[in-house]
Amino acid sequence: MISERLKNIICKELLLDTKSVEINDETQATEVPGWDSLNHANIIVAIEKDYGIRFKGLEVLKCNNVGALQNLIDSKVSK
Amino acid sequence: MIDFSTLKGATLWERWQYFAQTMPESEAIIHWRAADEPVRWTYASLLETANKFSHYLKNIGVKKGEVCALIIRHNPNFYPLYLGIVGIGALPSVLAYPNPRLHPEKFRQGLTGMAERSGLNWIFTETALEEIILPFVEDKNTTVNELFFPMEWNLDKGLNSDTIQELSEIRANVKSNEPMLLQHSSGTTGIQKPVVLSHEAILKHVENYGKSIQISNDDKVVSWLPLYHDMGLIAAFHVPLACGIPSIQIDPFEWVLAPILMFMAASEEKATLGWLPNFAYNLMADKLSDEEMEDLSLESFRMMINCSEPVRTESHNKFFNRFKDYGFKENALAAMYAMAETTLTVTQTEANKRANELSVDREQLSNGKVIVAVELNKKKICVSSGKLIDGCKVNIIDEKRNVVSKNGVGEIAVKSVSMFFGYRNYPEKTAEVLDENGWYYTGDIGFLYNDELYVIGRKKDIIIVAGNNIYPEDVEDAVSKVELVLPGRVIAFGEDDIELGTEQVSIVAETSVVSEEDLNYLRIAIIRAGMGINVNIHKVYLVPPRWLIKSSSGKPSRKANRTRILNKNDEQVWSKK
C-alpha cells in the first residue's frame, strides 16, 4: 500500500491537495493531474531527496504504477 | 565525407536497395530496448523483410498513392513495414501513439480530423488499440478502407521469383517526383496540417543536409525522437537510411522515463550524431546522476543538434558543463532551423563547431533592430541556427511581405528545393502560407546576421512545449467546456520555464466561484480537461468575470491578458504558486 509520505511528495510537487486526488497502488502517472513527462523527472528527484535514496533510470522504467514505485522505494530504504 | 554523386537511386526504395546490394551486411537500424538486447537490422535483412511486407500489403489491396497510417509503438518490425509501404508506391504516415491520458474519443476526433485532410486509406496498428480505433474505421463517413495488425502477420515464408518480379514492376512505375510520404506538420488534436513530400524532395534534402553536417560513413545516429515528428522521421531516420549509415532508435516513451537510455546507447554504440529539442538539454543535465553516468562515455559525439524549439544559450552551457567530464565536446553543440514544409532543415550551424552566439540590445531588438549590445543589463544572447544549407533561401520580411533592411527583424520566409506540395486537401491554408513564387511564410520571427539565421520568436500564438507545437485554440476549447468556467472566457498561452528550458501551457479562465475549496477543485478540473487532449496545463490563473481584456474582435486577447497576468500583481488573480 502506498504511504502517506509518498502521496504527500507527489501532491506537493504537482501542487495538488491530497484530499482532492485519489492516489492508490494501481494509480498510473497518466491518471494524476499534472503528472506528465516533464514533471515526472521532478517527482522522482523529490522522492530521492525526501527518502535519501537514488534511483537508476531503468529501475523507474519498470514501475508501471504508484504501487510499484512504493515497492522500489521500500526496497531501497530497507537496504 | 560521403560522396553523394556515387550513390544510386532516384527513389527512396532504389536507394535502400542500392545499399542492400552494395553493403548488405552493414547495419541500417539498431532497435534499442531498455534492459534487453537490441534488434539489429542490416540493409539486407531490412529489405528482405520489407519485401515480404510489400507483398502482404499488395495482397490486401493497398495501391500506389494510398495513404497508410501507422500507429505502432516502438517495435522492430515497424521499420520494414514502413519500407514495405514505400516499396509498393503507397505513402506511409506515422501517427502519434495515443498517450494513455488522451481520452479515446479525443483520439478518434483527431483521427477524423486527420482523415478528412490527409485522406487516410488504411490503418496499421496494434491489437491493443483495436477497441479505440475500430469505431472510427466503422464510421460510415470514414475514408479508411480497413484496419490491420501487421505486427501479427506471419512473415516466415520467403517470396518466390514471380512475386519479386511483380514487386519490381510496381517499383519501376514509381517516379522520383511522386509523393513518398505524408507527415503532419504540427498540431494537437484539432488542426493537423498534412504535408506530402516526394522522393526527390527527400533525397535532395538528404544530400544538401548531409553535406552541411559533413556526414560520413563513420557516423552513427542515436535518437529517441518520435517518428511522427519531422525531426525524428527525417533527421534521425531518413537521413541515415538514405546515406547508408546506422541509426539507433530508442522508444520515446521509455526515454522520458529513463533519459539515461540515450547515453547508454550512444556510449555502447559510439554514436556521433544526435538531435534534441532544447528542453532535453536541461532535462538530461539536471536529472542524470553521476551514478547513472558512471562508465559512460560521450566522446564519440561530434554533433548534438538543437532544434524544434527556441535554442537557449543557458541550455547549451548547462549541458556542456554537466557532461564535459564524460567526454562531451563543446564543439558538438550545434543548432538548426527546420520545418516539415521544407522536408526539414533550412539552416544548420557549422559542422563540428559550437553554435555562434550574439549579444544584442534587448530593447532595440523589440523595436525590430539588431544592435550588438554593449550594456550588460540590456543584453540578450541569441543562439545562431546557422547558415543556409544548399538549395534553401531565406528572406526576412515585414508585415506587407517586403524584405526588411539589413539587420532588420521580421518574419522568416523560406524557399527550398525540398519544398512540400502544399497542405493536402487544405488549399485555403496553403494559400495563406505559400505564395505563387514558392515562398513559404513560416510565422517565425528572426533576423540574419553575418549570413547566419537567428530565430527569436513567433508571429503566431503557438505554444512549443518540449518540441511539440500546441495550438492555444485547442486548449481553450477544452477548458471552456469545464463546468464553472465561463464559456469562451479563457485564454491559453506559453509561459517560459527557464529551469526546464521550454515553454509550459498556462491558462487564464474567468469564473464566478470564490471559495478556496471551489477554486482548488476548478484548477484540477481544468488540468484534467487538458489531460483529455493530451496537453499538460502547468499553471492555472482563475479570475473573476469580465477580468479578461477583449480584442477588437470581441474575444479575449491572448497577448494583452498574458502581459497583464505576467506583469501585474493583481489581487483578483487566483493561482497556486
Strand ranges (DSSP E) for chain A?
A: none
Q: How much is the pTM? A: 0.89
Residue B267: partners with Cβ closer than 8 Å, 6 or more residues away = B295, B296, B297, B298, B300
Q: SS3 for B146?
A: strand
**Mean pLDDT of all residues in B304-310:** 92
Retrieve residue B78's grid coordinates. 515497424
Phi, psi of B205 (to 5 degrees): -65, -40
pLDDT of residue B347: 98
pLDDT of residue B577: 67
Answer for the pair B537, B572: CB distance below 8 angstroms, yes or no: no
**Which of B32, B101, B254, B521 would you mutate first to test chain A, the one with the most A CBs within 10 A?**
B101
pLDDT of residue B382: 93
Answer for the pair B209, B348: CB distance below 8 angstroms, yes or no: yes
Distance from CA of A16 to the nearest CA of B (A): 8
CATH says B359-455 is which class?
A: mainly beta
Query: Which chain B residues are closer than 8 Å to A57 by Cβ?
Result: 257-261, 288, 292
Q: What angle is formed at CA B435 by the lines to CA B121 and CA B185, rounded to 5 degrees? A: 40
Yes or no, beta carbons of A38 and B502 under 8 Å apart: yes
pLDDT of residue A58: 82
pLDDT of residue B288: 92
How far apart CA B408 and CA B368 sit, in angstroms, is 6
- Give the CATH superfamily of B4-256: ANL, N-terminal domain (3.40.50.12780)
Q: What is the percentage of chain B residues whose pLDDT exceeds 70?
A: 99
Q: What is the percentage of chain B residues whose pLDDT exceeds 90?
A: 75
Judge whether B374 is closer than 8 Å to chain A, CB to CB. no
Distance from CA of A47 to the nearest CA of B (A): 13
pLDDT of residue B470: 86
Yes or no, beta carbons of B258 and A58 under 8 Å apart: yes
**Which of A13, A23, A44, A58 would you mutate first to test chain B, the one with the most B CBs within 10 A?**
A58
**Mean pLDDT of all residues in B22-39:** 95
Which residues of chain B are in CATH 3.30.300.30 domains?
463-567
In this complex, which of B260, B527, B576 lies closest to A57 when CB atoms are compared? B260
pLDDT of residue B142: 84
Confidence at B188, pLDDT banded by 50, 70, 90: very low
Strand ranges (DSSP E) for B301-388?
A: 303-306, 333-338, 345-348, 357-361, 379-383, 387-388
pLDDT digits (tens, 9 = 90+) for B217-240: 999 999 999 999 999 999 999 999
Q: What angle is formed at CA A52 by the lines to CA A47 and CA A54, rounded to 5 degrees? A: 70
ipTM, interface predicted TM-score of the complex: 0.78
DSSP-assigned states of every residue in B155-172: --SPPPHHHHHHHHHHHH
* Least confident among A1-10, B136-145, B267-276, B482-491: B136-145
Yes or no, beta carbons of A38 and B283 under 8 Å apart: yes
Answer for the pair B208, B18: CB distance below 8 angstroms, yes or no: no
**Mean pLDDT of all residues in B536-564:** 89
- Give the CATH superfamily of B463-567: ANL, C-terminal domain (3.30.300.30)
In this complex, which of A33, A40, A62 lies closest to B528 when CB atoms are compared? A33
**Mean pLDDT of all residues in B424-436:** 91
Q: Which of residues 203-262 of B touch A (CB under 8 A)?
A: 254, 256-261
Retrieve residue A58's grid coordinates. 531503468
**Mean pLDDT of all residues in B395-415:** 94
pLDDT of residue B324: 98
pLDDT digits (tens, 9 = 90+) for B263-306: 999 999 999 999 999 999 999 998 898 989 999 999 999 999 99
Q: Annotate B205-238 with b (16+ C-beta within 10 A) or e (fewer).
A: bbbbbbbbbebeeebbbbbbbbbbbbbbbbbbbb
Rounded to the nearest 10°, the torsion over CA B294, B299, B305, B311 is: 60
The pairing of beta strand B194-198 with beta strand B179-184: antiparallel
pLDDT digits (tens, 9 = 90+) for B87-131: 999 999 999 888 777 778 878 887 887 787 888 999 999 999 999
Which residues of chain B are in CATH 3.40.50.12780 domains?
4-256
Retrieve residue B439's grid coordinates. 515562398
Residue of B nearest to A29 (CA): B101
pLDDT digits (tens, 9 = 90+) for B143-181: 899 999 999 999 998 999 999 999 999 999 999 999 999
Retrieve residue B184's grid coordinates. 503532419
Residue B557: partners with Cβ closer than 8 Å, 6 or more residues away = B491, B548, B549, B550, B551
How far apart CA B109 and CA B104 sit, in angstroms, is 9
Retrieve residue B501's grid coordinates. 528550458
Residue of B nearest to A18 (CA): B520
Judge whether B538 is closer than 8 Å to chain A, CB to CB. yes
User: In whole numbers, what is the pLDDT of chain B averaged over residues?
Assistant: 92
> Does B405 have pLDDT greater than 50?
yes
> Does B190 have pLDDT greater than 70?
no
How far apart CA B274 and CA B328 sit, in angstroms, is 12
pLDDT of residue B32: 97
Yes or no, beta carbons of B524 and A61 under 8 Å apart: no
DSSP label at B60?
H
Distance from the Cα of residue B266 to its chain's centroid: 21
pLDDT of residue A47: 94
CATH of A4-77, one of 2.60.120.1440, 3.10.50.40, 3.40.50.620, 1.10.1200.10: 1.10.1200.10
